[in-house]
Structures are given as C-alpha cells and as structure tokens.
Structure 1
Amino acid sequence: MKEDFLHYIWQYKKFDFSNLTTVSGELLTILHCGNYLQQAGPDFFNAQISIGNQKWAGNIEIHIKSSDWYLHHHEKDANYDNVILHVVWEHDTPVFRKDNTEIQVLELKKYIAKKDLENYQALASPKSWIYCESQMATIDSFVLANWQERLFVERLERKYNPIEQLLKETENNWEAVLFCMLAKNFGLNTNGETFMKMAKLIPFSIIRKESADVANLESLLFGTTDLFPLDVQDNYTKDLKNRFEYISQKHQLKKGTIDPVQFFKHRPDNFPTIRLAQLAMLYHKQQNLFSKVIVARTVKELRQLFEITITDYWQTHYQFDKESPKKKKQFSKSFIDLLIINTIVPIQFANAKSLGKEASESLLDLLREIAAENNIIIEKFSNFGIKAKNAFESQSLLQLKNEYCNRSKCLQCAVGIELLKA
C-alpha cells in the first residue's frame, strides 16, 4: 500500500462514504474532501466534515499508518495544527494536537471496494519497464489523446525554465538565448553542455560583430572549445588560430574552463568540429536569426533557415590537419527536425509566454508535421502498442516516461487513473 493510492481514493471519493464512523465510533460525514494542492503541509486543504453533531472546517492529512504522523515529525510542524481528520489505511496509535486534544481518525481499509484494491494491485505490481505496460494499449483513444496534449504542454513548461534562466543571464537578449540553445542542441547529448558553456563565454554582441566573416566565427567557436591542435600544420588551421588570438585581444574575451569535447561514439558527420563549423556558417548566413525563427509558422519555413553549406575546408575535413573525401555536410532533415523540436518550438513557446500569449495549440500543430523521434523510449512504447505518429506524440510520450512512469506517479497520470476505473 502506498499513500498516493489513498490520496487517489480520497480525492475521487472511491470509497463507501454513506455510513462512515471514526475509529472511536462517532458518525462521520464528509461535506467537502478538500483541495489536493500537492504542496508543503497537509495533503488536502479547506475540507469540511461533521463528526457527531459538530461541524469542522480545516485540513486533512493522509498516512498509511497513524504512527506515520510522528515518523514525519508533524507534531513539531505548525502547518499541521489545523488538521481536523487523520485518514489512514491502518490505525495503530492515537495522535494529539498541541493542546492535547486527540485528532479523529478514519481507517479507510474498511470502506474501499475489493475491486478498486485489486485494480490498484494489478497496476502497481512489478513489470519489465513501466507498471501499465500490459494495459496501456487498452486505454480509450480519446482519453489518451487528451492526456498527450496535457503532457505536451507540461513538457513545454519544463523546457521554458532554462530559457527563462538564460533570459535573466543575458538581460532579455532573445538572440543570445537562441544562440545558446542552438549551441547546446548542436552538441547533442555528448557535447551539449560543453557547447552551451562555450556559447555563454562568447558575448553575443561579438558573434554579431564578427558574423560578416565566417572564418572569424569559426575561430571563436573552435578557440573557445580549445579544439585547435597544439602542433598546427595546415595554413587554414594556422589562420583560424591567429584570428582567435587577435579577436580575443580585440574584444578582451574572458577565458573560461569547459569540459573537453568528445568525438568518441559519434559518426563523423556529428563530430564536434563539423557541428561547430555548421553553427558558424548558420550565424554567418542568417542575420537576426531569432526574428526569422519567431515569425515562422510552418516546418517548411523553418527548414529553409537551415539550408546552408559548410565551408570548403570542412567539406574535405572532419578534423584539423586530416584530409578526407569531399562532402558538403549539409544539415540532414532529421537533424533540422531535432533542432525544431528541442530549440525552436521551446523558444517560440517561451516568447509567446513572455508576451502573455497562448501558443501551445499552434506549436502542437507544428510538431504534427514532423516525424516522431526515434529512440529507445519511443520504441518501447511502440512495443507495448502505443505508436507515436509524429513529434507531438513522441514528445508527450517522453514526458510521460520521464515525469510519471520513472517516478511511479501512476495515480497522477490519466492512464493510471483510467485503469483504476476498469
């Protein structure tokens, strides 16, 4: 038995409350179960009950055992002084207020239907991946679709937090925030944090000033990430290194310590050298990129912003001083789509939110134009009968797995609640 199940039972009144009595034998009437706010303090606020002939208004606290009150040290917390009823699965000890009056107790196990308990036990029993893996595909499509929309908005809200922090750090410079977010996602999972630190070390005003010459931008990105080889051989690398030293002195760039970039396990087209060269070319070709991103309304418009070709040197190199067969190394459609999903859509959402506008519906439609992501989580859901048809659905499933399944929050999940109704 877990407390979240008792919260669910109380919140949705999934018990026989027609003839309740406290453990002391007094008649108990539930007038209002209270508000489930999930914050510090009692579990349900502003409840109303009657015990005998006395009406009470206050808060409800729920535990597995009455003794949990003392285990959680509620007797020392003033937030619990206004508890009018202690709801427990099993009553094992009396609980007293500071004035030595005993808090009345309702023992729930006497009033819960056997079927509800069996449904909970079936849901909560261990599985190979998630608790509802064998039942999720049976959920009504309308319920699942509504839940996915809610999950999608939650994921946007979660992605808003780092953007909000970047806005504070850059004094609300949206162009600088976009540069940092793009840098992070150009680095993928392996180099994302390193690229983000790099972007923060270079004031965006300098990126803007030096963007007329792509070699200057390359020198800044490669130099800040310490990618220049110690023993420089070819002229292009020597030129970039000299440019970086000059630009650093000209703008009095502060040096910072960042983690080394990683090449290991990357396909050559995802080498950090290639991704940084592409990022440099993007900001060379697309002036005022944020202004263009924020007005784009279709996937086609957004993809066109990333239709760039890498510099001649990087068409014949993957690393400095090591020549390779010529290849243009343009952005792949799948990589651009990842940038739209993980950078552009969150930026558009954050900007709309800052202006007091609602954008989640239009962004949901935007992601419906993009194919679902391909990763182990989406593949697992597919194996259990939930197939993501587009990026909106794959994003919602990622939110579901990371924020609900991984945290065993089945009873705060529409899928879990629906299964308990079966």
Structure 2
Amino acid sequence: MNENLLHFLWKLKLFSVKKLKSTNGEIIHIISNGIHNLNTGPDFLNAKIEIENQVWAGNVEIHINSSDWYKHNHEADKNYDAVILHVVWEHDVEIFRNNNAKIVTLELKNYISKAVLNSYNQLFSKNKKWINCENDIQFIDSFIFENWLERLYFERLEQKSSSIQEILTTNNNNWEATLFMLLAKSFGLKVNGDAFLNFANSFDFSIVRKVSNNVEQLEALFLGQAGLLSNKYESIYFEKLNREYEYLKVKFKLTPILGGQVQFFRLRPNNFPTIRLSQLAFLYSKYQNLFSKIIEIDSLELFYSLFEVSTFPFWETHFTFDKESKKSTKKLTKSFIDLILINTIIPLKFVYLKNLGKNEYSSLFAILENIKPEKNSIISRYNDLNIESPNAFKTQALLQLKNEYCSKQLCLQCAIGKTILKKS
C-alpha cells in the first residue's frame, strides 16, 4: 500500500461509500471529498463531510498509518488545524488536536474491495513489462483512449511551447528570429541540435537579413559561425567561402562557436552539418519573411513546396570539403520536412495563436493528421500491442504517453490506468 493509491481511491471514491464508520463508530457520509492538493498542506482541500448528522467543511489528510501524522509533525503545523477527517489504511494510534479533541479517523482498508487491490497489484507487478498496462491497453474503450491521446498531444504541445516562449522572450518577441533559431536546431537533428542552436544564437538575426540576397555569403556565414571553416582544405570553393566569411567576420564583429561542437560522427552523409547548413542557407536566401509565409500556409502540400530547397552546386558532388563523391541533388526530403513540421513549425504556430488569444487549432491538427506516422522503437512497441498509428498526431501522443506516464509509473494519473482500476 502507498499514499498515491490512497489518494487515488479517495479522489475517485473507489471504495464502498455506504455505511462508513470512523474508528470510534461515528457514521460518516461523504458529501464532497475535496480538491486534490498537489502543493504543501493537507491532501484534499475544501471537503464537506457529514459526521453523526453534523456537516463539517474543511480538509482531509491521508496517511498509510495514523501515526504518520506525528512522523510528519502535523501536530505542530497550523496548516493542519482545519483537518476534519483523517483517512488512513491502518489505524494504529489516536490523533488529537491542540485542544485535546480527537480528529475523526476513517480506516479505509475495511471498505476497499479485493478486486481493486488485485487490479492495482497486477498493474504494478514487478514482472518485467515494457509498460504496466500492456495486457490491458488494447481493450480500453476507444472513446476514452482517443480522448486521452488528444489531451496528451495538447500536453506535449504545451511542454514544447514553454521553451519556444523563452526563446521568443530572449528575442524581444521577434518571431522571425525565433523561427530561425528553432529551424537551426531542427536542421541539426539530435546529434547537432544543440550545436546548431548555439550557432544560430552566436550572431544577430539581422545579419541574416542583410546578406540573404547573396546565398554564397549566407552559406559562408553559417558554415563559418558553426566553426566549419576553421580548418584548411585544398578546395577552391572552401577558399572562396573562407574569404567571404573573413570579410563578414570583420564587418559584423563575429565570433564563431567553439570548435568541436558540430559533429559528423554517427551521421549519415545526407545529415552532415555541411549539407544541412547549406540547405538552411538556401532556404533563407529564398524567403525574406519566412515566418510570415509559414503563418499563411495551412496545408501539408504547401509546406512541402515551401521547404523545397537544395544546396549550393558544390555540395552535389561533396559531403565534406576534402573528398569528392558521386553527384546527387541534395534536396530536403519529405520525411525531413515532416520532422521540421512536427518539432518546430506546428509548435511555433501553436504558440503564435496562443499569443494572439486564438484557440482554434483545427488546421494544425489537420496537418499533423496528414503526416505519416513516425518510425521509432517506442511506436514499434505500441504496434506490437495492437495500438496502431495512422498518422503523426497519434505517434506524438503515444510518445507523450510513454515518456511522461508509462516510464514514470504515473498510471494513477493516466486515463488508461484509471479505467483499468475503475473496472474492478
């Protein structure tokens, strides 16, 4: 038994509420079990309990054992003076107020069915399972499941929006500059995401605007600030970019990020930082006001068209400065654009709409529902449990479910876990 379960049982009244009696035989009737308090103080606030035909308004405190009241020093804390009912699993000692009056105690173990406890024990059994509910999740009512997934995706968006809002504040509410930093991080993927964000933060976005009409200068700026022009190569194109960057460095008083931040290791050639930064430079040479265009677009196909960019011709036969490769056009693939939409564009548009006080997100969800489902180990494991994902909306929600609930054992805060226990 643990307090989290007792909180859960009390909150949802998953026990026999008829003929409740205190440890001293007083008849108890629960009118309102109160509001769950997640901060310091009593566990449930503003409850209303009828005890021996007398209605009391106040707070409820929950413990495994009655004696925990003293272990936690509640007798010396004025925040607990308004406790009208002490709910415990095991009553092992009487609890008194400062005026020596007993606090009414309800021993809950006498009113909880074995079925509820068995379901809880099965859910949290120590048998090795990928997720606790893997034997039950496919049988959850589809209405409950789909509504929970929708809420989970909103929760995921809210988490992402907080970091976006921080960047926006740092940029003095400059949406174009914020978009540039977020796109840079997305282009860096997991390996170079932080390094690319540092690169984007190493100079003022106004410089991008000033040189965007010259794609070669823009590429020199990006590669130079990322520290990729610090070594010497026997390459005409390298020498040309290096000269351009040295000019820009003096003109704008630039300092590149520290060497070694940007990595090539464990990356497929198409994801090499040289290629991704060249593509990013082409994107910003193509559009002067990229954020404005992104806000206007509300369909997946238009986004695919917007991000239809490649690289400078040199990179068609190179992945690095020092080695020639087979010629290939290195355009942004649809799968890469999907990642940008999922991780950057949709969250940014969500924050933008929130800042405008608009709560209409259906167009964002429509885009996400048209994006193919993500492929990763988590989604594969859900597929093994017969939880299929037709689109990115569902895969994003499932990622939130696994990372924020299943992995943290928060089944009692999850609609799926609650449903399993309620059924018992």
With normalisation by structure 1, the TM-score equals 0.95
With normalisation by structure 2, the TM-score equals 0.94
RMSD between superposed Cα atoms in Å:
1.9
Report SS of the residue matched to 1:125.
coil
Separation in structure 2 between the aligned mates of residue 361 and residue 258 of structure 1, nearest angstrom: 44
Instruction: From the superposition, tell whether residues 18 and 193 of structure 1 become closer, same or farther in structure 2 (CA, over 3 Å).
Output: same
Q: Select between 176-185 and 98-107 the one with higher mean Cα deviation.
A: 98-107
Deviation at 1:71, TM superposition (A): 4.4
Q: Number of matched residues? A: 422
Deviation at 1:176, TM superposition (A): 0.9
Hey, what does 2:186 align to over in structure 1?
Answer: 185
Is 1:49 aligned with 2:49? yes
Asked if the contact 1:349/1:359 (under 8 Å) is kept, the reply is: no
For residues 172-210 of structure 1, what are the alpha-carbon distances to aligned partners after superposition, in whole Å with 9 as ceiling and x for unaligned?
011111111111111111111111111111211111111
For residues 340-376 of structure 1, what are the alpha-carbon distances to aligned partners after superposition, in whole Å with 9 as ceiling and x for unaligned?
1111110110000000111333322211101110011
Hey, what does 1:109 align to over in structure 2?
Answer: 109
Asked if the contact 1:85/1:104 (under 8 Å) is kept, the reply is: yes
Deviation at 1:75, TM superposition (A): 4.7
Deviation at 1:227, TM superposition (A): 1.5
Hey, what does 1:347 align to over in structure 2?
Answer: 348
1:69-148 to structure 2, matched below 5 A, reads 69-75=69-75, 77-98=77-98, 101-126=101-126, 127-148=128-149
Deviation at 1:78, TM superposition (A): 4.3
Asked if the contact 1:229/1:320 (under 8 Å) is kept, the reply is: no
Hey, what does 1:31 align to over in structure 2?
Answer: 31
Hey, what does 1:17 align to over in structure 2?
Answer: 17
Hey, what does 1:366 align to over in structure 2?
Answer: 367
Deviation at 1:109, TM superposition (A): 0.8
Deviation at 1:272, TM superposition (A): 1.5
Deviation at 1:124, TM superposition (A): 1.6
For residues 386-422 of structure 1, what are the alpha-carbon distances to aligned partners after superposition, in whole Å with 9 as ceiling and x for unaligned?
1111000001101111111111111111111111122
Asked if the contact 1:211/1:283 (under 8 Å) is kept, the reply is: yes
For residues 213-265 of structure 1, what are the alpha-carbon distances to aligned partners after superposition, in whole Å with 9 as ceiling and x for unaligned?
11222222222221225223212112222222221221223555476112121
Residue identity matched to 2:304: R
Deviation at 1:139, TM superposition (A): 0.9
Unpaired runs of 5+ in structure 1? Answer: none
Hey, what does 2:421 align to over in structure 1?
Answer: 420
Instruction: From the superposition, tell whether residues 254 and 85 of structure 1 become closer, same or farther in structure 2 (CA, over 3 Å).
Output: farther
Is 1:394 aligned with 2:395? yes
Asked if the contact 2:227/2:258 (under 8 Å) is kept, the reply is: no
Residue identity matched to 1:299: L
Asked if the contact 2:226/2:256 (under 8 Å) is kept, the reply is: no
Hey, what does 2:294 align to over in structure 1?
Answer: 293
Report SS of the residue matched to 1:87.
strand
Deviation at 1:100, TM superposition (A): 5.1
Hey, what does 2:175 align to over in structure 1?
Answer: 174
Q: Select between 175-184 and 83-92 the one with higher mean Cα deviation.
A: 83-92
For residues 66-99 of structure 1, what are the alpha-carbon distances to aligned partners after superposition, in whole Å with 9 as ceiling and x for unaligned?
3434444545554433322221222234444455
Is 1:337 aligned with 2:348? no
Instruction: From the superposition, tell whether residues 420 and 215 of structure 1 become closer, same or farther in structure 2 (CA, over 3 Å).
Output: same
Q: Select between 109-118 and 156-165 the one with higher mean Cα deviation.
A: 109-118
Instruction: From the superposition, tell whether residues 119 and 310 of structure 1 become closer, same or farther in structure 2 (CA, over 3 Å).
Output: same
Hey, what does 1:161 align to over in structure 2?
Answer: 162
Unpaired runs of 5+ in structure 2? Answer: none
